[in-house]
């Protein structure tokens, strides 16, 4: 019989994060997930904790209930789109700071604080990035503010690669595809279940591989 695997999903109240928590639980993983408000309808096996990733006190308070836990996967999924207009000249400094804090600074701080809980050798630390973050893939800077915040996430996550390499763990920046969520909209090409199943497959595939990789839900390696 295979060993039980343990996942911590940060930002799982809805959308892809919730889908991934449900998918892993359906596949037999033990899942701890975080929400900053209400607990959504979900698989009965998921344990919930409260966290706003931008709140340093809440991040600190998360340590206590998790103090004896160890995870095969820590996945920081939380993210925001930023100002609807996506125009640098229109955006206020507060809007830009809020976007970069939510999508880059807080996810990486949160992950750095949780890293001692990641299993050595086979553990995967993953961030929900976007293909739009790639200078090579996003040639025309589509949704530039959102894309720049995810590019910042990719770069800041690289700094953690020294710590993950030291323990032979794997670091992933994941593009979930274009997904039908509040953020992705109804015209998106993938359902939450399709994206979440693809991402769950990647978590199996990259286990024990080491390094820092930028991959999509379907297993394609993206250009930084
Ligand atoms: N949908 C797409 O097509 C697509 C494509 C590429 C990348 N992504 C990325 O995939 C991730 C999930 O996107 P989604 O489409 O599922 O978006 P979504 O439906 O808007 O859900 C966003 C999730 O992030 C949480 N969140 C946002 N700010 C948070 C904070 N400060 N602290 C804790 N949780 C926070 C939200 O919690 P609340 O419910 O409390 O707001 C919600 O659970 C995001 O990082 C997004 O950038 C999405």
Q: Whose C-alpha lies nearest to ligand 1, atom 47?
A: 79
Is residue 82 situated within a structural domain? yes
Is residue 224 situated within a structural domain? no
Output the domain CATH number for residue 28.
3.40.50.720
Answer for the pair 116, 70: CB distance below 8 angstroms, yes or no: no
Tally the domains of the chain. Answer: 1
Is residue 1 situated within a structural domain? no
> 124 — phi, psi (to 5°)?
-120, 125
Q: CA 101 to CA 153: how far, in whole Å? A: 10
Helix %, strand %, coil % of the chain (to 5): 35, 20, 45
Is residue 223 situated within a structural domain? no
Between helix 144-159 and helix 93-100 the angle, nearest 10°, is: 40
Tell me which of 10, 12, 15, 180 to substitute to probe ligand 1's pocket, judged by most ligand atoms within 8 Å of the beta carbon.
Answer: 15
Q: What is the pLDDT along the chain (224 residues), one digit of tens a residue?
A: 568 999 999 999 999 999 999 999 999 999 999 999 999 999 999 999 999 999 999 999 999 999 999 999 999 999 999 999 999 999 999 999 999 999 999 999 999 999 999 999 999 999 999 999 999 999 999 999 999 999 999 999 999 999 999 999 999 999 999 999 999 999 999 999 999 999 999 999 999 999 999 999 999 999 99
Is residue 33 situated within a structural domain? yes
Answer for the pair 34, 12: CB distance below 8 angstroms, yes or no: yes
Is residue 153 situated within a structural domain? yes
Q: Which domain holds residue 44?
A: 6-216
Q: CA 84 to CA 173: how far, in whole Å? A: 24
Q: Write down the pLDDT at residue 3.
A: 86
Atom of ligand 1 nearest to the CA of 178: 3
**pTM of the prediction?**
0.98
* DSSP 8-class letter at 79: -
Q: Write down the pLDDT at residue 91.
A: 98
CA torsion through residues 57, 61, 63, 66, sign: negative
């Amino acid at each position: 019989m295979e060993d039980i695997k343990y996942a911590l999903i940060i930002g799982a109240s809805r959308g892809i994060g919730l889908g991934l928590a449900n998918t892993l639980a359906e596949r037999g993983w033990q899942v701890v997930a975080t929400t900053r408000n209400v607990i959504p309808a979900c698989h009965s096996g998921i344990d919930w904790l409260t966290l706003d990733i931008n709140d340093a006190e809440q991040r600190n308070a998360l340590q206590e209930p998790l103090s004896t836990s160890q995870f095969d996967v820590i996945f920081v999924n939380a993210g925001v789109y930023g100002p609807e207009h996506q125009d640098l000249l229109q955006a206020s400094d507060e809007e830009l700071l809020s976007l970069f804090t939510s999508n880059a600074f807080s996810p990486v701080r949160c992950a750095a604080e949780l890293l001692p809980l990641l299993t050595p050798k086979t553990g995967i630390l993953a961030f929900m990035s976007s293909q739009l973050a790639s200078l090579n893939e996003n040639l025309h800077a589509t949704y530039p503010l959102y894309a720049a915040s995810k590019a910042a996430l990719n770069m800041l996550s690289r700094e953690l690669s020294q710590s993950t390499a030291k323990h032979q763990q794997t670091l992933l920046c994941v593009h979930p595809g274009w997904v039908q969520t509040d953020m992705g909209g109804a015209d998106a090409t993938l359902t939450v279940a399709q994206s979440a199943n693809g991402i769950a497959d990647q978590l199996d595939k990259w286990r024990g591989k080491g390094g820092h990789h930028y991959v999509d839900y379907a297993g394609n390696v993206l250009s930084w």
